[in-house]
Amino acid sequence: MFELLKTDPGSKARLGRLTTSRGTIDTPVFMPVGTQGSVKALDPRELLEMHTQIILGNTYHLFIRPGLDIITGAGGLHRFMSWEKPILTDSGGFQVFSLAKIRKIKPHGVEFRSHLDGSLLFLGPRESMEIQRVLGSDIAMVFDDCPPHTATPKEVRAAVERTVRWAQECREQPRAKGQHVFGIVQGGSHGEFRESCAKALVEMDFDGYAIGGVSVGEPEPEMMQAVELTEPFLPATKARYAMGLGTPAQMVELVARGVDMFDCVLPTRVARNGTAFTRKGTYSIKGGSYKADFRPIEEGCRCFACARFTRAYIRHLLNVNEILGLRLVSIHNSHMYLEVMEEIRRHLGQGTFSEYRQKFIANYIPTQKVLATRGQTLVRGADE
């Protein structure tokens, strides 16, 4: 399924290609998140125009609404949402452990109450794989136990053991035609847990491996560490996916640490508050200084929003709550994420990734929030 085309001499970065029955995916790749069957505010045409190769869907959310009957009736998730390219589905493990109310962990899964209407539901390896089979995703994820950042070592150990046992159960379930399955490595920031979890999963020979238990509230250094502690135990011949990450600068750094695949809600989530991602960091288009700024969101950007509309116009739309405002920022941000990945692939191909990485990180000003987790404070204004 995965072809390793080139490895960067100055880092662990890799240029690769994933093959699915719905087409190939050049890696490193960013996957826009379509949790509930729609990448928020965007339509499939817009996603194709920004060269989206694969999107994410979510087992937990789609299982609750619209439910499997509807998606079966539609002929699977691709046809339901009118998206012909590959889809990766998350297993629902993360949501069960973060969203659901009153959960009870049982040997073969989790009994929980729907975050929506409180109804009693059960998700485990068998159920999750069955749902993902019905959704018909091109890449399914195993059902894992994803503990919070605050979990004790004992809790993390139990989560790893459960994750490994459930991965084996997932491995044995039937799959949709052509469906690949990725294992998920848990283990928090504990090297020994990461190692044992990775080794046990590699033993089961999955089609790819995800690093889970990140994007669960941990500081940036711990997140980087979790990846560094896991990567050495993952086979070079399989794709590696860092779940739920990150900012553009974090993605560049994670590529340098050997990660091939990313998904993140940030580009569309912050867009709805009027925050734009640029190569210099983020800024709020709602800011008064953009009132009469007739430049595009990011100068030099070729996205649909930047090709036609100004900051002044988009700021006005956001101020008067016009839907087009958040649509345009969502387009720009998603395009920016995808374009950074395109640039990374080009530089990996040309052997200039180290220079690209250095320049990107030097230009990119992280948010106060990210800096705080590094123990740093901001020295320059982030608003360009």
Enumerate residues 6+ apart whose C-beta is below 8 A from 28: 13, 14, 15, 16, 251, 255, 259, 260, 261, 262, 341, 344, 345, 348
| Residue 38 touching a second copy (CB under 8 A) | yes
Which of 10, 23, 73, 221 forms a contact with a second copy (CB under 8 A)?
Answer: 73
> Could you confirm whether 90 is annotated as catalytic?
yes
Catalytic residue among 90, 138, 144, 145: 90
| Residue 4 touching a second copy (CB under 8 A) | no
Phi/psi of residue 315, each to 5°? -60, -45
- Residue 172: left if φ>0, alpha if ψ -120 to 50, beta else—which one? alpha
Catalytic residue among 8, 138, 263, 383: 263
Whichever of 11 and 310 has its CB closer to a second copy, that residue is 310
| Residue 80 touching a second copy (CB under 8 A) | yes
Whichever of 48 and 236 has its CB closer to a second copy, that residue is 48
Whichever of 223 and 331 has its CB closer to a second copy, that residue is 331
| Residue 326 touching a second copy (CB under 8 A) | yes
Give the binding-site size for a second copy (rule: CB under 8 A).
40
Residues 13 and 256: beta-carbon distance below 8 Å: yes
Residues 377, 374: Cα–Cα separation, whole Å: 9
The percent of the chain in helix, strand and coil, each rounded to the nearest 5, is 45, 20, 40
Which of 140, 317, 341, 348 forms a contact with a second copy (CB under 8 A)?
Answer: 317
| Residue 353 touching a second copy (CB under 8 A) | no
Query: By C-alpha distance, which of 1, 9, 3, 2 is closest to 347?
Result: 9
| Residue 37 touching a second copy (CB under 8 A) | yes
| Residue 322 touching a second copy (CB under 8 A) | yes
Token reading at 40? 């928020």
Whichever of 102 and 320 has its CB closer to a second copy, that residue is 320
Whichever of 132 and 330 has its CB closer to a second copy, that residue is 330
Of the candidate spans 37-45, 104-112, 167-175, 214-222, the one that interacts with a second copy by CB under 8 A turns out to be 37-45
Which of 4, 74, 105, 382 forms a contact with a second copy (CB under 8 A)?
Answer: 74
| Residue 316 touching a second copy (CB under 8 A) | yes
Whichever of 322 and 342 has its CB closer to a second copy, that residue is 322
Shortest approach of a second copy to residue 147 CB, angstroms?
Answer: 27
Spell out where the chain has E strands. 2-7, 14-20, 23-27, 29-31, 55-58, 87-90, 101-106, 109-113, 120-123, 139-141, 180-185, 208-211, 239-242, 261-263, 275-278, 281-284
Shortest approach of a second copy to residue 261 CB, angstroms?
Answer: 24
Residues 86 and 25: beta-carbon distance below 8 Å: yes
Spell out where 230-331 has E strands. 239-242, 261-263, 275-278, 281-284
Shortest approach of a second copy to residue 138 CB, angstroms?
Answer: 19
| Residue 241 touching a second copy (CB under 8 A) | no
Phi/psi of residue 262, each to 5°? -140, 150
Which of 1, 4, 7, 43 forms a contact with a second copy (CB under 8 A)?
Answer: 43
| Binding positions for a second copy, 250-309, rule CB under 8 A | 291-292, 294, 304, 308-309
Token reading at 245? 């990450």
> Could you confirm whether 263 is annotated as catalytic?
yes
Hey, CA dihedral for 223, 229, 230, 231, is it positive or negative? positive
Which of 81, 164, 226, 370 forms a contact with a second copy (CB under 8 A)?
Answer: 81
Token reading at 261? 């695949």
Alpha-carbon distances of 336 from 54, 56, 340, 352, rounded to whole Å: 16, 18, 6, 20
Contact residues for a second copy (CB under 8 A)?
36-38, 40-45, 61, 65-66, 69-70, 73-74, 80-82, 291-292, 294, 304, 308-310, 312-313, 315-317, 319-320, 322-328
Active site members: 90, 263
